[in-house]
Chain A
């Protein structure tokens, strides 16, 4: 099951650049939360702080509290454990090109020491079914490489890879921005189905996509969280004029 995420006074820097300023919000469990805002507003930095990927950049640092479930990820857990509990899918599908479809999905488990073939088979099948890819690849699991799939299939393979380690939260950083409308629709259907079991946070530039998939939406601007509320409120009557100007294209 998904867990809630509680963020309190989160600040982040790249070198001397203050990229996130005093972010406080609660992301409910088993829901999809969309983050929108112009390029450079801090939304991607924010999701990277949720699984401690931000700190992989030597010049980056973060302060504040991020609780996933009841655990403070900056104080009570190691980065490795956190990244297992919080999966991430990126803008460009990034399957391991030389690995088979099967090994791509199983890679996370193998890295964590799982070797039991029967368990691996079950997890690979379950993950590919969850990512709605099973029917398309079940006959070629070990014959084809991940790189041989189409862009949309590769993205669903990456989602299957993230799900295989049984995370509680799935972070998606513009997961459909490089995909055609049909593949985009499949990813959005996936989000709808997956939020029964996971908490999903999605960064998107596509506001219609945010409106379609998310229960709650946050608007970031220049490192600040301007507004965070129900998606239907954000897109019909946002409280802050900056939000309204952005989503109606009057920004800038």
Chain B
């Protein structure tokens, strides 16, 4: 039994989950800042970014050390590969939270406006994807990870609807363009958060099942396009 190695793998997973908690919290705070226009929450998001970045470097280094010194195989190798990829996605989730907070800062300086995009609903869905993908990581539950992939279509659709609604609003009321464009960028940031959650879920599936399901939605779409045109 490789007791030390497996203990180190557990520690690495714990470290990654702490970082995941920070990234998830940053997204929630940025959305709460959007909803309440509380700039102190934006500041907390900005302050959390260096910690997330530090965790990213630490997790990368721990994973790299284990790869070099333990030469893992099979499920352990897949786990370390997944950790390296998930680590990068979590750091990007943190970046999206910072981007949202920056937009919220701008919006608070602008006149309040009724916008045809339900940011809290989109945020709830994206956050749920992140939470579920992380839960699948905690439980090594590939079935749960598969269910995250299905949620991404809904987020994409909401983002697409937001784009059309905002475009229409800007044409109709050009004076609301600054607020509308900030909301559109936030919708786009949340859609990206959903994409990162999808990536995390795909990595969990790879770790647990050894199956590479990346871009399988592309092939489904291509198949659908072919069927529609034939």
| Interface residues of A, Cβ cutoff 8 Å to B | 207-208, 211, 234-238, 243-244, 247-252
Tell me whether B210 is interfacial, beta carbon within 8 Å: yes
Contact A249–B2 (Cβ < 8 Å): yes
B11 CB to nearest A CB, Å: 17
Tell me whether B77 is interfacial, beta carbon within 8 Å: yes
Interchain Cβ contacts under 8 Å between A and B, 21 examples: A207-B73, A208-B71, A235-B73, A236-B73, A236-B74, A236-B77, A236-B78, A236-B210, A237-B74, A237-B210, A238-B74, A244-B74, A247-B74, A248-B73, A248-B74, A249-B1, A249-B2, A249-B5, A250-B1, A250-B6, A251-B1
Tell me whether B76 is interfacial, beta carbon within 8 Å: yes
Instruction: Give the residues in chain B near A244, CB-CB below 8 Å.
Output: 74-75
B204 CB to nearest A CB, Å: 15
| Complex: A252 Cα to B3 Cα, angstroms | 12
Asked whether A252 and B78 contact (CB < 8 A) given A235-B73, A237-B210, A247-B73, the answer is no
| Complex: A247 Cα to B74 Cα, angstroms | 7
B33 CB to nearest A CB, Å: 43
Chain A residue with Cβ nearest B81: A236
Instruction: Give the residues in chain A near B76, CB-CB below 8 Å.
Output: 248
Asked whether A252 and B1 contact (CB < 8 A) given A236-B210, A237-B210, the answer is yes
| Complex: A207 Cα to B71 Cα, angstroms | 10
B203 CB to nearest A CB, Å: 14
| Complex: A72 Cα to B5 Cα, angstroms | 46
| Complex: A208 Cα to B68 Cα, angstroms | 12
Instruction: Give the residues in chain A near B5, CB-CB below 8 Å.
Output: 249
Tell me whether B50 is interfacial, beta carbon within 8 Å: no
Please give the number of chain B residues whose Cβ is less than 8 angstroms from any Cβ of chain A in the complex.
13
| Complex: A238 Cα to B73 Cα, angstroms | 10
Contact B210–A248 (Cβ < 8 Å): no
A205 CB to nearest B CB, Å: 14
Tell me whether B72 is interfacial, beta carbon within 8 Å: yes
5 closest cross-chain pairs (CB), A and B: A237-B210, A249-B2, A247-B73, A244-B74, A235-B73
Contact A248–B75 (Cβ < 8 Å): yes
| Complex: A252 Cα to B74 Cα, angstroms | 17
Instruction: Give the residues in chain B near A249, CB-CB below 8 Å.
Output: 1-2, 5-6
| Complex: A184 Cα to B149 Cα, angstroms | 46
| CB contact between A237 and one of B2, B71, B72, B78 (< 8 Å): that residue | B78
| Complex: A248 Cα to B76 Cα, angstroms | 7
Q: For chain B residues 71-125, which have a beta carbon within 8 Å of chain A?
A: 71-78
B2 CB to nearest A CB, Å: 3
Instruction: Give the residues in chain A near B210, CB-CB below 8 Å.
Output: 236-237
| Complex: A100 Cα to B1 Cα, angstroms | 46
Instruction: Give the residues in chain A near B72, CB-CB below 8 Å.
Output: 248
| Complex: A213 Cα to B77 Cα, angstroms | 19
B8 CB to nearest A CB, Å: 12
B65 CB to nearest A CB, Å: 17
Instruction: Give the residues in chain A near B75, CB-CB below 8 Å.
Output: 244, 248
